[in-house]
Amino acid sequence: MNKTSALEHTFLYHTSLDYIDTYQYSYIVTQVSKYKLRVEVEQRIYELLSDSLAKIKDKGEMNNFLDDFFSPTEKTVMAKRLAIAVLLSKGNDYQEIRQILRVTPVTISKMNLRMKYGNGSVKKIADKIAISDDNKALLQELASVFDVPTKGLPISDYHYKVRERSQKINRLKKEI
């Protein structure tokens, strides 16, 4: 009997989870044809999809495309996967992610495995999103340092401005 390393075991386990996930996904979300495509056809249509997505530069156009192209359930599945990746990048633990997104530990662990052992693209994007979210909150905190009462401005306006900024900082910190 062959002994497998921890990495090989993780890969084999991950591959079997992908098979199970794909099998369940095909019956829960979208019906997938039982007829296999030729490899070159499958590669070409994936290339067509990625090229098409890369050409969309406008956020409104992207939202319209996603609305037309995916069912609400498919959009939710994709959005939750991305949110899991971002939360993992921010250092949230499984319990926090479960409570925020209402997902199972298996779903979280599959995204975690993809981030660790995949080609790195999910981790790269999730890290960029996490950093940009952190930067937004940091910029607001820095701006709050310069919130000082202005001569001639009623003090209630100053307190209102400070309260609004602190609420915005808290909201940014809680956002994904």
Instruction: Encode the chain (176 residues) as per-residue pLDDT tens digits.
Output: 445 455 454 444 444 444 444 444 444 445 678 888 899 999 999 999 999 999 999 989 999 999 999 988 889 899 899 989 988 988 888 988 888 888 999 999 999 999 999 999 999 998 988 888 766 776 566 556 555 566 666 767 777 777 877 777 777 677 65
Within a domain: 117: no
**pLDDT for the residue numbered 55:** 95
CA distance 176 to 82: 10
Residue 76 lies in a domain: no
Report if residue 46 sits inside a domain: yes
**40 and 24 fall within a common domain:** no
Does residue 176 lie within any of the structural domains?
no
Instruction: Please indicate, yes or no, whether residues 14 and 39 belong to a single structural domain of this protein.
Output: no
Residues contacting residue 107 through CB under 8 Å, at least 6 positions apart = 80, 81, 84
Any domain includes 45: yes
The total number of structural domains that make up the chain: 2
Is residue 139 assigned to a domain? no
Q: Give residue 157's pLDDT.
A: 73
Tell me, yes or no, whether 63 lies in a domain.
Answer: yes
Residue ranges making up the domain that contains 54: 34-70
Residue 135 lies in a domain: no
Is pTM beyond 0.75? Reply is no
